[in-house]
Structure 1
């Protein structure tokens, strides 16, 4: 598997037939005080939940054409761009979660004989995904998407305009604009003649007809842009990772956003704040495993997490961009499965990769490579 580490335990006690000893099934699960494995045996982490916020914005760039002052005079156009301008606008946000190894929730499994927890599936960072069962498909965090070629005023030009020699030799901008306007009217008249079948030479077939009209439209658009200007819009997506933790402020500035610069760092005061607000039903995790009586409790059962629900809001100053409910592992309860559950042949369990929660108990499991 690409992201699953399968640990297969096969251990038999070597006993003589005359001894009458039984194979001992003892998989003891204990929580470690360290943050990484410090000895032999099987180790696994339960996850903590990280929140992934995917924010979408538009960068709008508009550039005035060189003949915008003559748009009304020669073409009777008033809705034109009269100044160069760049502007950023937030358009939306999405919230999702993923589990990463919680270094404070490390567990050790010690076994003797033929253990019930025979197949342990972990992620590459050691998070337990399943025991004796196929794991639940794990979500992957998306990387931050920053366009390689971000548009700006310098990237917008009017080189597509088909200037003729007569237009270029004009000694004034007014005269040049007038010649280009005449070209626009000529292209419109030519298109009308072709559509009405009055042109001196019509395209010979349907494909040529479409190609001719497309080229006329392209030339007209390039000439018109010299008067009305150009506007380009680019979508930009940024992804932010936020990890709620007990005792931390659950209403934080996720990033700042500037109408002129777009996405900026949370500490950059040129932008206005965009907040992440996490409203959890509780922020105090309960560890029932730590409260067990070590002398009386059967600690062979697998430890899992019962997460808590939380409402995550992304707020642009006072505007709510999105509000979604998620489950958080780090504020949840640590519980133990019944000790003999996995002693039953072909019994297995699946855990939620994002939270370590129990998804299902399965029977007649099958592990594929």
Structure 2
């Protein structure tokens, strides 16, 4: 088998159907009975889920306990970031240095190869479905809580014209108690002007609650929480990874880059559990036989097991075993096994690893 690179792969895929997860490429005379494919390399996607808590002090926090019996109001503005979860999953990207050509004999019955849209091999002489690996986004997705309306819009003219801050606090507190009394009267049916129907009742109660919360926030302060999510992708080499800083996280700034010392590091450790050691020294004859085997056969990956840890803030958040293509080796299927026209051999691969899942004869 001959080695070809991405240029040939692009030409072969140009006529394939682009709208599906996989494409079927037939080995026919027009492409010299050959189909190009690519093997993947493993990626590690570290995802962090966090919250951003924004606390704002109310204008009248000094009077919170005196008028509303609120003993712990927010007294200063601050923003706090907290990591809630760290996860790590494996993915795959095409390895541009591992593109090959499957060559079939011209007499082989209708041979074809199923590929992903990126050219990763899924199957030979068989259909196979591939669920694309979700790509990691390097931007934070935020979900902001619904903000309260400006409480000043609910203040009476008397309150706005009050001569002192203490007097304003007193008048606002009376307005809050009046809202509570009105709501209780509606709940008990004792209000002079009851809502005429269920929809009106719901609308009135929602407005009363909203006004009370907005005015109370002028004493207690306001706290809003946003959900943040951010992912980072690491592509291992053939070497182990020891406490590599993937990114940093600050309680005051949130997600920051790995070089920013304002944040505490989130680290990745990846250790090959099946190191192959030094390759054996082959005689010229054995080396030629080995090279011929790889030149003509169908190359596939045999991943190796690795232990993975993700640490942050003196805690291990992820500790598990995974398969890593870069730590493994490659082997070859000989072309002769596909030459049986009566019972064509089918080979199913794990596309995300380029490893054999099943051989059907």
TM-score bin, normalised by smaller chain: 0.7 to 0.9
Is 1:2 paired with 2:20?
yes
Match of 1:59 in 2: 52
Aligned length: 334
- Structure 2 gap ranges (5+): 1-18, 281-285
SS at match of 1:54: strand
Name which of structure 1's ranges 101-110 and 256-265 shifts more when overlaid on structure 2: 101-110
Map of 1:234-273 to 2, 5 A cutoff?
234-247=226-239, 249-273=241-265
Distance in 1, matches of 2:186 and 2:243, equals 64
* Deviation of 1:204 (Å): 2.1
Q: Could you tell me which of 297, 305, 321 is aligned with 1:325? A: 321
Residues 156 and 287 (structure 1), Cα distance of their counterparts in 2 relative to 1, 3 Å cut: farther
What residue in structure 1 maps to residue 209 of structure 2? 217
1:107 and 1:238 mapped to 2: Cα distance? 35
Shift of residue 257, structure 1, vs aligned partner: 1.0
In the alignment, what sits opposite 1:138? 131
C-alpha change, 1:283 and 1:159, in structure 2 (3 Å) is: farther
Matched, 1:357 2:351: no
Q: Deviation at 1:347?
A: 3.1
User: TM (normalized to structure 1)?
Assistant: 0.80
Shift of 1:337: 2.8
Cα separation, partners in 2 of 1:65 and 1:265, compared to 1, 3 Å: same
Superposition pairs of residues 288-299 of structure 1, within 5 angstroms:
293-294=289-290
3-state secondary structure, aligned to 1:225: helix
Q: Which moved more, 1:168-177 or 1:333-342?
A: 333-342
Given candidates 33, 38, 50, the residue that maps to 1:45 is: 38
Distance 1:192 1:259, change over 3 A: same
CA distance in 1, matches of 2:199, 2:291: 87
1:348 matched to 2:346: yes
Gaps of 5+ in 1: 13-25, 28-40, 364-369
Distance 2:83 2:249 in 1: 8
Please give the per-residue CA displacement for 1:222-270, whole angstroms capped at 9, x wherever unaligned: 1111111111111111111111112353431111111111111111111
Question: Which residue of structure 2 aligns with residue 102 of structure 1?
Answer: 95
State the secondary structure of the residue aligned to 2:289.
coil
Distance 1:265 1:177 in 2: 45
Query: Contact (CA 8 Å) 1:246, 1:283: kept in 2 or not?
Result: no
Q: TM-score scaled by structure 2?
A: 0.82
Does residue 120 (structure 1) correspond to residue 138 (structure 2)? The answer is no
Q: Contact between 2:104 and 2:111, CA under 8 Å: does it hold in 1?
A: no
Find the aligned partners of 2:332 and 2:277 in 1 and give their Cα distance: 15
- Distance in 1 (alpha carbons) for counterparts of 2:214 and 2:192: 25
Indicate whether 1:335 and 2:331 are aligned: yes
Give, in angstroms, the shift of residue 303 of structure 1.
2.0
2:299 pairs with one of 272, 296, 303: 303
Distance change >3 Å, CA 291–CA 171, structure 1 → 2: farther
Alignment of 1:3-42 (within 5 A): 3-11=21-29, 42=35
